Structure 1
């Protein structure tokens, strides 16, 4: 149940409101979020960290965003409850914005505006954005690394942390679009340190392994008190099931082709 003393941050109330339902000290923490972009990586990375934290009782829900332009969907959860399109969770020294459904284009700028305004008012240390990058952006497409782009404020304070984590700069000349680009721009306008981390992926697929790799990097970067072994095992099991299905399909295709060839011999 929502507390009577819950606090709301508005960007023209008819569009979007950020609601805090639990007492939380935001000062010095990072906001972390990702969208349903290339490979689904931004969204999945946040989901893996949040869901692992909730299972291990290391994370808690502290708020949500609501407005008249948000996606008309909720996600049914395992216990019969549901998740709103945008929800806030606290895990260690980070505040995660889990974007369950991709915001409409016109709402992404509003979301960037209200999130960065909130970050400045609550003295957030910085904003970390997550996503995917096309593997073809790299000259050497074999085992390309997770890369970053960042504004000057992040560089001045956290560049050494990126180097220690082994994260190089993104290739020159690529374009960043959508919610990540908007939040980077709004954060820079408001003098908030902001960085975007991108895991390499092919186009046209949901890359869960790349999202897991990025989740591990965020865990290391922020020293989050969460174990990702359960997610890793779930992905390993899913890949094994898919491999067996592909083997059966290949076998069935080969057998069908053999039968077809035999029938042609007797026509």
Structure 2
């Protein structure tokens, strides 16, 4: 078989011209994964197909709402008059076909008249130049739409992984693409960073989207981490007192 192919469910619209394709990967802070997963749960889109690779990752999941969930699925819904495509990457393609996967998605999108690709990724908090910075962004030269409120990613910083390959393919193939990169906690999942990215995406495409659930999830995680930190500090203090 070809390295990558698209298998439709037969439930999607025939005309996808003018759609916005939204996606992300399991990168730093799981920002892209959390953002796209949130959109699935919030917007309740219809599953319209699968991207199948030659070396498909050996994992599936199941939900009562969506049934069997494959590694790379495509969803669709019209929201606020906009055609939204959500590419859900539940895993990362194997190394030997990562570019083939990213390039196929870009070619598929261009062939069907997708207006632009929006992708989410995470950028480690340590690269902030100012404490109040929330995100950076990267775009292809073909993207001429509104930009996030923040600086472009410059100064030697690099996008890596499948997201980089997606941007590279879009640049070469003349596709409008914008990567939104909120600063995040790179060593753990960071729903707050995903919320920042989604808020900017909603603003620049004029979409109504409430991300308060992600903020609440972030606060819960941060509260638990703070509780564990205090518990560990208390334990250390107790041991030191015992040996004084």
Q: Could you say whether these structures have the same fold, taking a TM-score greater than 0.5 normalized by the shorter chain as the test?
A: yes
Task: Give the TM-score, by structure 2 length.
Answer: 0.86
1:105 corresponds to 2:95: yes
Q: 1:38 aligned to 28, 37, 40, which one?
A: 28
Whole-angstrom distance in 1 between the partners of 2:221 and 2:157: 33
Structure of greater Rg: 1
Aligned with 1:200: secondary structure? Answer: strand
Does the 8 A contact of 2:62 with 2:69 survive in 1? yes
Please give the per-residue CA displacement for 1:66-91, whole angstroms capped at 9, x wherever unaligned: 23312101134366944211111224
Going from structure 1 to structure 2, the CA distance change for 1:39 and 1:234 (only over 3 Å counts) comes to closer
Q: CA deviation at 1:225?
A: 4.0
Q: 5+ unaligned residues in a row in structure 2: which ranges?
A: none
Does the 8 A contact of 1:76 with 1:82 survive in 2? yes
1:148 corresponds to 2:137: yes
Whole-angstrom distance in 1 between the partners of 2:118 and 2:23: 7
Going from structure 1 to structure 2, the CA distance change for 1:181 and 1:234 (only over 3 Å counts) comes to closer
Please give the per-residue CA displacement for 1:8-29, whole angstroms capped at 9, x wherever unaligned: xxxxx34222122222231111
Aligned with 2:102: secondary structure? Answer: helix
RMSD: 2.3
Q: CA deviation at 1:141?
A: 4.2
Deviates more, 1:239-248 or 1:68-77: 239-248
Aligned residues: 238
Whole-angstrom distance in 2 between the partners of 1:69 and 1:169: 35
1:124 corresponds to 2:110: no
Q: 5+ unaligned residues in a row in structure 1: which ranges?
A: 1-12, 262-267
Q: CA deviation at 1:101?
A: 0.9
Whole-angstrom distance in 1 between the partners of 2:53 and 2:149: 39
Moved over 6 A (4+): none
Does the 8 A contact of 2:137 with 2:180 survive in 1? yes
Going from structure 1 to structure 2, the CA distance change for 1:79 and 1:27 (only over 3 Å counts) comes to closer
1:68 corresponds to 2:57: no
Q: CA deviation at 1:115?
A: 0.7
Aligned with 1:174: secondary structure? Answer: coil
1:199 corresponds to 2:185: no
Task: Give the TM-score, by structure 1 length.
Answer: 0.79
Whole-angstrom distance in 1 between the partners of 2:108 and 2:221: 39
The aligned residue for residue 238 of structure 1 is 221
Q: CA deviation at 1:175?
A: 2.0
